[in-house]
Amino acid sequence: QSVALAFQHFIVMLGTTVLIANTIVPQMGGGAGDRARVIQSLLFMSGVNTLLQTWFGTRLPTVMGPSFAYVISVLGIVNDMSGDTFTDNQGRFTHTIRAIQGALIVSSFINIILGYSNIWGKLTRYFSPVIIVPAVCLVGLGLFARGFPQLANCIEIGLPMLILLIISQQYLQHLHSVARPMLERYALLVCVGVIWAFAAILTVAGAYNNVREQTKTSCRTDRSYLMSSAPW
């Protein structure tokens, strides 16, 4: 049960990781191979962070995935460099990713100092809901505007996933006592497997052979090119 729940947690984190890479890498001039390497880097560092916090950190039962709090700032760096002159997109991507990595290193040191010095804990005593709620809404709604509209890019895959997940978690678990523990804990894992199989069947059956390129990229299960473009 622990292994299954951990794998489900990883699947959720993997989705957010891919969403971050798909959001920022194309704007940096990167291709499919660059997206694959960014995803690999995020997954590797997530594993390192998870091990560190498990051994001598907060020891929370969670996967330390990439933080959405930095996405808005990273996009600001990308936009600042969009006007620079580069010979090709690869050069632009390399220059931009180095700038982003440097900025993240500096910001992480600030977080470490704030955490280990207990300054942040002392400051939070003076934070009221009037301060916290707008900050959380700013980050959450900003990412919602980028992530949720992607459902409309492939409505025949995204909408069934959303409906099936809601029905499984809220209603199907009450139908039978045997199904309740499974759907209550593993609804997301089950729904991802069912919808992925559904998308694969549509792809093999040729449902997306004569559609626009954007629909193929969003709906087909063989159009991400992440596996084929990534070196071993």
**Measured on CA atoms in the order 53, 55, 57, 58, is the torsion positive or negative?**
positive
Q: Residue 83 above 80 pLDDT?
A: no
Residue 74 burial (C-beta neighbours within 10 Å; 0-12, 13-18, 19+):
buried
**Which pLDDT tens digit goes with each residue over 93-109?**
999 999 999 999 998 89
- Percent pLDDT > 90 in the chain is 15
Confidence of residue 15 (pLDDT cuts 50, 70, 90): confident
